Amino acid sequence: MSPDTFSYESLAARVLFGWDAIHRLPAEIDRIGAKRVLVLSTLQQAKDAERVMAIVSKTSVGLFSGAVMHTPVEVTAQALETVTRVRADALVSFGGGSTIGLGKAIAIRNGMHHIALPTTYAGSEATPILGETDKGVKTTRRDPRILPTLVIYDPELTLNLPRSISATSGLNAMAHAVEALYAQDRNPIISIIAEEGIKAFARALPRIARDLHDREARATALYGAWLCGTALGNVGMALHHKICHVLGGSFDLPHAETHAVMLPHVLAFNAGAAPQAVAALGRAFDSNQPLKAFREFCLSLGVPTSLSQLGMTEVGLDRAADLAVANPYWNPRNFNRADIRALLEGAWKGDWQVEATDRLEKDNE
Ligand code: NAD
């Protein structure tokens, strides 16, 4: 990339990465001066969270295992009651974007220290962004104080991430990097980070699909998660994230799977208007047909390939198109409602192989 006009403001983040890095937690808790730590998790990960509690046993004051997707404000209120009851002065969120989202929602309300231990590749730990749901409406805000005090990436914590979530969560992360590459406010540092993040997942996900306990691939994927999350936290997202936001927020489609289905479609739609992103993808996949390579990559991982597979109804497509074009995010390619309706229909049917290629050819005419 040749340097063009850009502005860049780095986020203050402390990150520790490595096998067994979780054992650095007690020293880090000392470092920030915390004395009473509340661990956060989902119900599904409560058992594993007990291991974290054992590691911080000197300062542990309990576990709140009620984290759920989309950070409902009622759950945050319950967690805040627990914080007050056990007189916690720091949080350790152990889990994916849902649990880390809860940690952010508490910390932005009361200023507590928040240490994140990511166990998926969603990337929330690296962003100053918080999405919350109140009475079924999801709103997102950005504030530097939302960023966790510290992130500890220990690949050991991801070894049990099931095959399907590993793949979809990895594609969720890759979507951050793809959109960062064509962001309106992109800059050279974030473009390098995004390309390296895509490359990490391009290498790691096929190996994880074959062997969940491939330690080298797990470490590479978690490294990719940090990079892609950093890209998400630093530049604006475009059409892909807008559509996924609509499908998750208003149609309750599952977060990572929706990203996995939509990404090849939106990428093909935007490709003609984002040659620099396509070139970076080509380098990351070591291919001179990057879109084809990416589609084959998705297929090889066995992820869902259509919105209908995720439970989206055909009648919902019109409303989804309306919502996606209302207050649109900036996008490298201009679009109208009919474009988005057609894009959604292709994704709903899962016939992106034909549709995506056609679109690209049209763009290149
Ligand atoms: P998640 O946190 O909901 O986790 C999915 C499921 O996998 C949960 O049941 C969880 O308990 C389980 N799980 C997680 N790690 C596991 C492991 N290592 N082993 C076994 N099971 C494990 O899913 P997610 O995709 O990480 O996060 C989605 C949420 O995060 C959404 O609400 C999304 O909006 C939010 N998010 C926010 C940002 C941001 O920057 N604010 C970024 C990405 C995602």
For the domain that residue 323 is a member of, what is the CATH number? 1.20.1090.10
Whether residue 261 sits in one domain with residue 141: no
Q: Which two tokens stand for residue 84?
A: 């007050």
Measure 259 CA to ligand 1 centroid, in angstroms: 13
Among 244, 209, 222, 255, smallest CA distance to 98 is for 255
Ligand 1 near 126 CB (within 6 A):
no
Residue from 69, 243, 259 whose mutation best tests the ligand 1 pocket (most atoms within 8 A of CB): 69
CA distance 130 to 94: 17
**270 and 351, same structural domain?**
yes
Number of domains in the chain: 2
- Looking at the structure, do residues 95 and 175 belong to the same domain, yes or no? no
Residues 71 and 184 reside in one and the same domain: no
- Please identify, among 142, 158, 174, the residue that sits at the C-terminal boundary of a domain: 158
Residue type for position 2: S
- Closest Cα to atom 16, ligand 1: which residue? 161
Domain-located, residue 124: yes
Looking at residue 137, its pLDDT comes to: 75
- Domain co-membership, 212 together with 333: yes
pTM of the model: 0.95
Indicate whether 222 belongs to any domain.
yes
Domain assignment present for residue 2? The answer is no
Residue 6 is assigned to a structural domain of this protein: no
127 lines ligand 1 (CB under 6 A): yes
Calculate the CA 185 to chain-centre distance: 19
The closest of 357, 225, 247, 238 to 306, measured between CA atoms, is 247
CA of 67 from ligand 1 middle (Å) equals 10
Residue nearest to atom 38 of ligand 1 (CA): 124
Long-range contacts of 102-105 (CB under 8 A, 24+ apart): 102/40, 102/64, 102/66, 102/67, 102/71, 102/75, 102/76, 103/40, 103/148, 104/71, 104/130, 104/146, 104/148, 105/71, 105/73, 105/76, 105/79, 105/130, 105/132
> Domain range for residue 33?
14-158
Same domain as 207, residue 134: no
Q: Clarify whether residues 222 and 359 are in a common domain.
A: yes
**Residue closest by Cα to atom 2 of ligand 1:** 96
CATH code of residue 70: 3.40.50.1970
Task: Per residue of the chain (365 residues), give pLDDT as tens.
Answer: 566 788 888 888 899 999 999 999 999 999 999 999 999 999 999 999 999 999 999 999 999 999 999 899 999 999 999 999 999 999 999 999 999 999 999 999 999 999 999 999 999 999 999 999 888 777 899 999 999 999 999 999 999 999 999 999 999 999 999 999 999 999 999 999 999 999 999 999 999 999 999 999 999 999 999 999 999 999 999 999 999 999 998 899 999 999 999 999 999 999 999 999 999 999 999 999 999 999 999 999 999 999 999 999 999 999 999 999 998 899 999 999 999 999 999 999 997 655 555 455 455 44
Task: Please indicate, yes or no, whether residues 263 and 303 belong to a single structural domain of this protein.
Answer: yes
Do the beta carbons of residue 86 and residue 64 sit within 8 Å? no
Of 158, 182, 205, the last residue of a domain is 158
Residues 186 and 123 in one domain: no
Tell me: do 40 and 176 sit in the same domain: no
Q: Are 91 and 112 in contact (CB under 8 A)?
A: yes
82/103 Cα distance (integer angstroms): 13
Minimal-distance CA residue to ligand 1 atom 3: 98
Question: Is residue 5 assigned to a domain?
Answer: no
- In this structure, the answer to whether residues 89 and 149 fall within a common structural domain is yes
Q: Are residues 151 and 173 in the same domain?
A: no
Residue 246 lies in a domain: yes
Asked if residue 30 is part of any domain, the answer here is yes
Q: Looking at 158, 193, 224, which one is the last position of a domain?
A: 158
Q: Identify whether 1 is part of a domain.
A: no
Looking at beta carbons, which pairs linking 213-221 to residues 24 or more positions away fall under 8 Å?
A: 213/159, 215/19, 215/155, 215/159, 218/155, 218/158, 218/159, 219/19, 219/155, 221/121, 221/155, 221/158, 221/166, 221/170
